[in-house]
Structure 1
Amino acid sequence: MPATSRPLRSVLYIPGSNARALEKARQLPVDAIIFDLEDAVAPEEKASARATLAAALGAGGYGARLKIVRVNALSTEWGGEDAAAAVKMGADAILQPKVDGPSDIDALGALTGNVPLWAMMETPLGMLNAAAIAAHPRCEGMVMGTNDLAKDMGARFRADRLPLMTGLGLCVLAAKAHGVAIVDGVYNAFKDEVGLAAECAQGRDMGFDGKTLIHPGQVAVANAAFSPTQAELELAARQIAAFDAALAQGKAVAVVDGKIVENLHVATARETLAKREAIAALHAE
């Protein structure tokens, strides 16, 4: 299933060095997992983390969850070996940190064959080059790295994320323009469900496909926020039915709840129903 059509409501980071977390992740109701060899792994554990993760992925058991391996940057001493190892692990995608432009994807792509590549969007230069990154033929997904972006910008953390809005918006526009997946950044206060729900709602309203998470306790909130609500599903069904009835009468528009329904609304309605089916299929295991 292409990344743009599959559910990506909850995307959980798991340290590649943590065997217990890797085992637990097999049972979590997440849509995707980022198996991290970068920030979540100490320098002295980089090599052993590679081996631990390879064993876990080789054992399987992650079902239909999208399996993404985040490697270290090629500029580090670990990046090249990470890339070579990730290819052999059978990952669904490889996530590259701190992508500044298309040339970074070229460099990783030269080492990874046909494995789909995802880009961490977490630098000011990456924001300015978002469209070119999303347009790269090897790029199938983008992940916001809001902590690093805020640090590089010298921005203050605010609940409304106002300092980050330009970057977030540029990346969403780039992803939608070029048909790649786009996942929002993490929410650091992992015990604050109210704050997480608010940030998920903001990201969903902006057009993000889902949310990256740092703790299993955040999964339920993200899944709920990025799933169609019952009201949305019922409205979608009524819009489709009304529009089909209008077409049968030779009309190009319908009216539902006092609002015009045209082709574009029906397309959105069909996408809403398709998302429900995709979510059900993903977790039918």
Structure 2
Amino acid sequence: MTMQLHHARSLLFLPASNARAIEKARGLPCDMVILDLEDAVPDDKKVEAREAAVAAVAEGFGSRLAAVRINVAGTPWYGDEMVALKKSAVDYIVLPKVETAEQVKAVFSVCQKPVIAMIESPAGLLAAPAIAKAEGAGGLFMGTNDLRRELRIPAGADRTGLSLALQSVVVAARAGGVAVFDGVYNRLDDAEGLERECREGHMLGFDGKTLIHPNQILVANRAFGPDADAVAEARRLVEAATGGAERFEGRMIEAMHVAQAQDLIARAEAVGVQ
């Protein structure tokens, strides 16, 4: 059974032109595979990559969600990609460089697949509340690399300058009722930095993290996945609750806490945490 998007912890980008990486992804512990037709694929490989993506999602990725990132409107490949993906078995379309709700609606109207909008610019950031509520919107991705550049945040800087942007996109997603995921971490050999950024993203309210290498998957799964002890406590809380405000293991709980516990249990079951 395919999981729901908001339960996904690890969302791995792969070039749709890389057959070996696609095949390997079928055995990886990520929750979503995103086949990229945009930045990861050179222009002379775009058509080949599109055909490979359609074939790959037809074969499936087991219980993993499957998405394809298309090229933007105005490129030579945009229309053909939408037509091909409408007929495909893909779960989600990832749309880069979204700055208006109309961009999401346009893709959805053709593909009839839920769209994950990438917020990668100041204009996109300001329009995020409308984008999250657009017809066909299924989620938001933070495009932190492009956003850094457009905000003129120095390369290598920490994420202090992105704090407002990160929290604003989470708020927009929650107000719109869609899932939301943190941006990629570029330093492939910095496991400590990745773990720190994953923990930060989790504390900000992101559902999971987009990734660019298989070695990042387990770190993201740990950071965004339910802790077994927390799940056990949630089960005890749900079992103990009788309605209204009451005492539970030294703290006061009410209906809101029961709902939070039930959400945690559902997430745990979706990702296989007992």
State the superposition RMSD in angstroms: 1.8
Counterpart residue number, 1:180: 178
**What residue identity is the alignment partner of 2:52?**
T
Q: For the structure 1 residues 242 and 160, does the alpha-carbon distance in structure 2 shift closer, same or farther, using more than 3 Å as the test?
A: farther
Partner secondary structure for residue 94 of structure 2: strand
2:108/2:135 contact within 8 Å kept = no
In 2 relative to 1, CA 92–150 (structure 1 residues): closer, same or farther, beyond 3 Å?
same
The CA distance in 1 between the partners of 2:181 and 2:108, in whole Å, is 21
- Secondary structure of 2:72's aligned partner: coil
TM alignment of 1:81-120, pairs within 5 A: 81-112=80-111, 114-120=112-118
Alignment match, 1:220: 218
Counterpart residue type for residue 146 of structure 1: T
SS of 1:73's equivalent? coil
Give the Cα–Cα distance (whole angstroms) in 2 for the partners of residues 184 and 69 of structure 1. 17
Q: Aligned partner of 1:271: which letter?
A: D
Q: Which runs of 5+ in 1 are unaligned?
A: none
- CA distance in structure 2 between the aligned counterparts of 1:206 and 1:52, rounded to whole angstroms: 36
Contact 1:118 1:139 in 2 (8 A): yes
Write the mapping of 1:35-74 to structure 2, written as runs, cut at 5 A. Answer: 35-58=35-58, 60-74=59-73
8 Å contact from structure 1 (residues 4, 179) kept in 2: no
Alignment of 1:58-207 (within 5 A): 58=58, 60-112=59-111, 114-157=112-155, 160-207=158-205
| Structure 1 contact 242–255 (Cα < 8 Å) conserved | no
Cα deviation digits, residues 201-237 of structure 1 (max 9, x gap)? 1111111110000000011111111111122112212
- Residues in 1 aligned to 2:213 and 2:45: alpha-carbon distance in whole angstroms: 21
- Displacement after TM superposition at 1:239 (Å): 2.4
Over the matched positions of the two proteins, sequence identity in percent amounts to: 43
Q: Verify the 8 A CA contact 1:117 1:140 in the aligned structure 2.
A: yes
Paired residue secondary structure (2:124): helix
Q: CA deviation at 1:52?
A: 2.1
Q: Give the SS at the match of 2:89.
A: coil
What is the deviation of 1:29? 1.0
Alpha-carbon deviations, 1:54-77, whole Å to 9, x = none? 22223x141121111100001212
Preserved contact between residue 167 and residue 204 of structure 2 (Cα < 8 Å) = yes
Looking at structure 2, the residues matched to 148 and 77 of structure 1 have their Cα atoms a distance apart, in angstroms, of 22
- Give me the whole-angstrom Cα distance separating, in 2, the residues matched to 1:258 and 1:19: 54
Tell me if structure 1 keeps the 8 A contact 2:16–2:49: yes
1:16/1:4 Cα in 2 relative to 1: closer, same or farther (>3 Å)? Answer: closer
Q: Is the 8 A contact 1:16 1:36 kept in 2?
A: yes
Q: What per-residue deviation string (whole Å, max 9, x for no partner) do you get for residues 222-278 of structure 1?
A: 11111111221122123223322xx4xxxx222234321111111111111111111
Aligned residue for 2:239, secondary structure, equals helix
- 1:148 maps to a residue whose letter is D
Is the Cα–Cα contact under 8 Å of residues 15 and 36 in structure 2 kept in the other structure? yes
User: 5+ residue gaps in structure 2?
Assistant: none
Cα distance in 2 for partners of 1:3, 1:79 equals: 27
**Number of aligned positions between the proteins:** 272
TM-score (norm 2): 0.93
Q: Is the 8 A contact 2:3 2:63 kept in 1?
A: no
